[in-house]
Chains A and B, each alone.
Chain A
Amino acid sequence: MGAAHDVFEAPDAVKRAIGYLPEVLPLYQDMTVSAYLGFVAEIKQVPKAKRKASVARVVASAGLKDVAGRLIRNISRGFKQRVGIAQAMINDPQVLILDEPTIGLDPAQIMEIRELIRGLRGEHTILLSTHILPEVTQVCDGVVVINEGRLMACGSLEDLAASVSSADGVLVKLRRAGAEEAALFRGLPGVDKVSAEGSELRVEWRRGRDLRDDVARLALDRGLGLREMRSLAGIEDLYLQIVSGRAEQ
């Protein structure tokens, strides 16, 4: 971490080096956007001479120009989220901590906020805490999984996928997923394991091979009514495996 201070010995130095966006946005509804950012700059002890420039900088980089003069209570949820991110950046922190930055937004706003966060990489070290897993694939370079206060995994997404299991595979959704269909897939050369998972079949093989075409061809040739097919290595599965797998140990 760039901010080489101890939280217990020099808490103020640490606080000056980080920007923090809590999950519940810390906004004063009765202030205008620019007055609010000015206040945050003041309490984060941005030097007086630099305050105006800092407010202008975060207003520009968070795309708040159009709402800068409006009361926070009157702007949309998406803009409020941007104000939240803007206040976290105001002291130009080395480390930016964002807690659930896209919660409660509509899909268009989510895309905008993710774009904004991606634009900030390079300038700041960003710690993003989220329960929305696809966000991780889109935005993050490294992943840390924490479950019930315990560190479960840490590394890049590819490393994590490789470390969790040696099996790769697909989930197949068919018109009907019974024992007959399972037996058909089990007959495919290279397939190690087939199991029913709800209305879907889970087809697994050893990591390194790719049997996806074979599985699809079989389903089509036999007229099994292929509805959907998706990779097992999705981040949700990865997460579940990490959390459940380590918990069993």
Chain B
Amino acid sequence: MKNAWSIAKKELGLYFRSPVGYVVFFIFLLIWGFFFTSAVRWFHDYSLQAAQNPYYAQQLNINQMVLGPTFQNITIFFLLLLPALTMRLFAEEKKMGTDELLFTSPLSVGQIVGGKYLASLVMLLVMLALSAVSCLFIFLYGNPEIAPLLSGYLGLFLLGAAFMAVGLFFSALTESQVVAVIIPMGLNLLFYILSWAASSASGVRKGIIDYLSFIQHFEGLVRGVFDTKDIVYFLSFCFFWLFLTHSVIQSRRWR
């Protein structure tokens, strides 16, 4: 663990010794702010109408009407943004020849892969932590429930972790950073919209496709339904891609 952290520290350092880290945070907060204020604006208009109609007023729910849509919308941006964070992790090392340093060190492949993944998770965590500032305003001016908020953030974190596990794998596969960003974008999108295909399927096939798609699992968490099935889905998804990454790096180390 300590050794993996050495790698993670180096990766985090490199994010912030180049503009990458700052640009990613800036753009993320910009987009988050846009989605969040749009949701607040819409909620504001809606509550004005609701003030004249007790039926609408009952339906007002700040969790589902502000935070939920923001979480859902930001995932679209995650699709584009997160592969850009993982693309250089292995591809750049291979291109610059620095992977030889890692492979001839006494570190195990698991520590190297784990350290790099850890660094990307820390980036994701910091992004989410920064975005949580906007939630402070909701607590100041409203009274949202804390549980769905937390499970929504957990969903966002797990979804991001899944995106980045795919990204890490393709970064290990190629030395071209462009390839390492485009393939995960497409593949993640595919996993994301897989459930569209489920609408025309039926029976077992529909069940399988629905299970494989991110959407169902993610939406459950955003709605505040904490189901271990969804957690297991995301963890096994990440584990699968990390395992593949481990195998790729392991085989390269022997060459």
Contact assessment for A45 and B106 in the assembled complex, using a CB-CB cutoff below 8 Å: yes
Contact flags A70-110 to B (C-beta < 8 A → 1, else 0): 00000000000000000100000000000000000000000
A44 on interface, CB distance cutoff 8 Å: yes
Contact assessment for B104 and A39 in the assembled complex, using a CB-CB cutoff below 8 Å: no
Bound CA–CA A28/B99 (angstroms):
10
Contact assessment for B100 and A22 in the assembled complex, using a CB-CB cutoff below 8 Å: yes
Bound CA–CA A35/B106 (angstroms):
19
Contact assessment for B104 and A15 in the assembled complex, using a CB-CB cutoff below 8 Å: yes
B17 on interface, CB distance cutoff 8 Å: yes
Task: Please report whether the interface of chain B is mostly helix, strand, loop or mixed according to DSSP.
Answer: helix
Set of chain A residues within 8 Å of B17, measured between Cβ atoms: 30-31
Contact flags B1-22 to A (C-beta < 8 A → 1, else 0): 0010011001001100110000
Contact assessment for B97 and A24 in the assembled complex, using a CB-CB cutoff below 8 Å: yes
B147 on interface, CB distance cutoff 8 Å: no
Interface range for B: 10 to 19
Set of chain A residues within 8 Å of B105, measured between Cβ atoms: 15, 40, 43-45
B98 on interface, CB distance cutoff 8 Å: yes
Q: Which residue of B lies closest to A97 (CB)?
A: B104
Interface range for A: 20 to 34
Cross-chain contact of A29 among B6, B7, B96 (Cβ < 8 A): B96
Contact flags B79-100 to A (C-beta < 8 A → 1, else 0): 0000000000000000011111
Contact assessment for A28 and B6 in the assembled complex, using a CB-CB cutoff below 8 Å: no
Contact assessment for A39 and B10 in the assembled complex, using a CB-CB cutoff below 8 Å: yes
A27 on interface, CB distance cutoff 8 Å: yes
Contact assessment for A27 and B98 in the assembled complex, using a CB-CB cutoff below 8 Å: yes
Set of chain B residues within 8 Å of A124, measured between Cβ atoms: none
A20 on interface, CB distance cutoff 8 Å: yes
4 more CB-based (< 8 A) A-B contacts, given A20-B100, A22-B104, A26-B98: A15-B106, A20-B104, A24-B97, A43-B7
Instruction: Give the 3 A-B residue pairs with the shortest CB-CB distance, closest first.
Output: A24-B97, A26-B101, A12-B106
